[in-house]
Structure 1
Amino acid sequence: MTGVTREIVRLPTHPGLQGLVAGVVGFREQSAAPLERRQPAGTLLPLVLSFGDPFEIVDVAAGEGVGTYGSFLSGFMSGPVATRSGRSHACVQVYLTPLGISRLVGVPGRAFAGRVMAVEDLIPELGRSFSEQLAEAGSWRGRFDLVQATLLARAGDPADPLVAWLWDRITRSGGQVRIRDLVAETGWSHRYVTTVFQRTVGLTPKSAAGVVRFERAAADLGRLPVAEVAARHGYADQSHLTRDTVRYAGEPPAALAASRRPTAHTALGTSPAGSRARGVPARA
């Protein structure tokens, strides 16, 4: 891209944040004009800690949060988010997992699902003074250490075993598992399971599974024929995949495959599987 210089740095996630944070990225960009991007729905939830020009949320297709932010957190979305960065953008991006977001923020995931929110409203210690510390730090390693130390100090109690088990089964299946079958295995009512899961993760099990399936399918777009991608990921047909791609990404499969680039504003990969518990959690 003419007139753009970009620096992307990735360092390993602290072991104490495994399962809560899928990755941490340092990102710096200089451009002749503001840059716009569209981020499809996905299972990695960005916590963007800026120390450059403000970041603008232009559109939230399936939620709310349009506005200009220094640092922000995006909850679990069921549609794309359009962004615009300034000419001099710099940040540390932390990709939280659906199980990690409530533990690190200290608020149930349903409170900010489908929403973009200013970080200072959720985690005051990561507000403006923290942005100044990031700007003054002499290295990306120093910035990463600041961010991860703050998050480690905030890590709360583990997720409800039922929620962790459900998320594990959903991600293991690539979003193709039948939710009613999972509910039947738990012995709880469908209403109870949905309520407990949505409180922590933000979306219902069915909605979360839809995002997981789309995310896995999107990773194959451009590598395989669309019809093969649809069959591999459990869509009824190519038209079904196309409808879901427009719903979650805001554009059809061919356009999404053509527009994706490996930048810090694209997902780092597929979602972690979360808890590895094999059995159904026992009822109290």
Structure 2
Amino acid sequence: MSAEYVSVQPPVALRGRVLRLLGYREHASAPRRRRQPAAGGVALILGLHPLTLSGPALGTATADAFVGAPSDTWVLTEFTGPQAGVQVDLTPAAAFTVLGGRALRGGAVPRLDELHDPTLAALPARLAAEPTWAGRFALVNALLAERLLDPRARVVAPEVCWAWDRLLATDGRVGVAELAAGTGWSKRHLQSRFRDQVGLTPGTARRVLRFGRAAGLVGRGSDPLAGIAAACGYADQAHLTREFRALASCDVQGGCPVRGR
């Protein structure tokens, strides 16, 4: 396995909405598989070579350029041979503006050519024709800036942004009723608007963010599982174990390899 990764900060005007830009070039002589666990963020994959994806929400599919939407389930990716492209990590609010709500269906992995967005669908071919990482990042940043800085762009409702920020700040340890009260909306209305603009309901987002914190603590390998379960709001260690199996398809006690690029 040979690999090259180039990570850069987004332009200042896009920071806080664009979380990371990662250029990657890999070559695997044998099948290379990665587990992508449930996550609340959005990964825009501008890939140049086909990748096989499989999981409970999509069965098995092949794609090169696609959207890793917020999800409460896991996906396996696999390839042999070359892989290259640019990965753009976005907040859900930024993804709604750049990609539209169609791309944020929880558990889905829509290909770019399914989003009815010719400019976005053409971007991977433009990246393939550009010989340098600097040039590729410039193309991506130009499209992001055009959409995120446009005062006429579609945006997430302020109430949804507030609810997401509260969930993120507490790692999912805030109730839906409290979120609804803070927005001034009913629980039902909050759930509907949040799902349309983030891709998950607030309750599911709570679960995914709580898992994300637990996975980070487990990855350190220094804390007892019972203590992690208590710190993250699980009923007990068995509850934590069940969530790892459901959201990452692995056993937390077996050194679960929860990872991406």
TM-score calculated relative to the size of structure 2: 0.91
Preserved CA contact (<8 Å) 1:40 1:249: yes
Does the residue aligned with 1:71 lie in a helix, a strand or coil?
strand
Does the residue aligned with 1:41 lie in a helix, a strand or coil?
coil
Asked if 1:55 corresponds to 2:51, the answer is yes
Q: Deviations for 1:120-173, whole angstroms, at most 9, x for unmatched residues?
A: 22232233x432321232221211111111122223243211001000111111
Deviation at 1:105, TM superposition (A): 0.6
What's the counterpart of residue 257 of structure 2?
A: 259
Q: Distance between the aligned counterparts of 1:260 and 1:115, measured in 2?
A: 19
Preserved CA contact (<8 Å) 1:54 1:86: no
Structure 1 residues 69, 108: CA separation in 2 closer, same or farther (over 3 Å shift)?
closer
Matched letter for residue 209 of structure 1: R
Q: Distance between the aligned counterparts of 1:114 and 1:7, measured in 2?
A: 29
Matched letter for residue 38 of structure 1: R
Structure 1 residues 187, 130: CA separation in 2 closer, same or farther (over 3 Å shift)?
closer
Matched letter for residue 97 of structure 1: T
Does the residue aligned with 2:145 lie in a helix, a strand or coil?
helix
Q: Distance between the aligned counterparts of 1:16 and 1:108, measured in 2?
A: 25
Map 1:34-45 → 2, pairs under 5 A: 34-45=31-42
Does the residue aligned with 1:99 lie in a helix, a strand or coil?
helix
Which structure has the highest strand share of the two?
Answer: 2
Preserved CA contact (<8 Å) 1:109 1:199: no
Asked if 1:146 corresponds to 2:146, the answer is no
Asked if 1:75 corresponds to 2:69, the answer is yes
Equivalent position to 2:109, from 116, 129, 134: 116
Equivalent position to 1:204, from 180, 201, 211: 201
Asked if 1:164 corresponds to 2:165, the answer is no
Q: Distance between the aligned counterparts of 1:130 and 1:186, measured in 2?
A: 37
Q: Distance between the aligned counterparts of 1:137 and 1:81, measured in 2?
A: 30
Q: Distance between the aligned counterparts of 1:29 and 1:108, measured in 2?
A: 30
Does the residue aligned with 1:78 lie in a helix, a strand or coil?
coil
Matched letter for residue 71 of structure 2: M
Deviation at 1:13, TM superposition (A): 1.2
Does the residue aligned with 2:67 lie in a helix, a strand or coil?
strand
Structure 1 residues 109, 133: CA separation in 2 closer, same or farther (over 3 Å shift)?
closer
Deviation at 1:81, TM superposition (A): 0.4
Matched letter for residue 41 of structure 2: L
Q: Distance between the aligned counterparts of 1:72 and 1:65, measured in 2?
A: 15
What's the counterpart of residue 273 of structure 1?
A: none
Aligned length: 254
Map 1:1-284 → 2, pairs under 5 A: 4-51=1-48, 53-57=49-53, 59-61=54-56, 63-64=57-58, 66-107=60-101, 112-122=105-115, 123-127=117-121, 129-155=122-148, 156-221=153-218, 222-255=221-254, 257-260=255-258, 265-266=260-261
Q: Distance between the aligned counterparts of 1:54 and 1:99, measured in 2?
A: 28
Preserved CA contact (<8 Å) 2:35 2:258: no
Deviation at 1:251, TM superposition (A): 0.8
Deviation at 1:260, TM superposition (A): 4.2
Deviation at 1:39, TM superposition (A): 0.5
Q: Distance between the aligned counterparts of 1:126 and 1:65, measured in 2?
A: 25
Q: Distance between the aligned counterparts of 2:102 and 2:126, measured in 1?
A: 28
Preserved CA contact (<8 Å) 2:41 2:69: no
Q: Distance between the aligned counterparts of 1:260 and 1:60, measured in 2?
A: 15
Q: Distance between the aligned counterparts of 1:217 and 1:14, measured in 2?
A: 31
Which structure has the highest helix share of the two?
Answer: 2
Does the residue aligned with 2:190 lie in a helix, a strand or coil?
helix
TM-score calculated relative to the size of structure 1: 0.84
Deviation at 1:19, TM superposition (A): 3.2
Deviation at 1:72, TM superposition (A): 0.8
Matched letter for residue 259 of structure 1: P
Does the residue aligned with 2:30 lie in a helix, a strand or coil?
coil
Does the residue aligned with 2:210 lie in a helix, a strand or coil?
helix
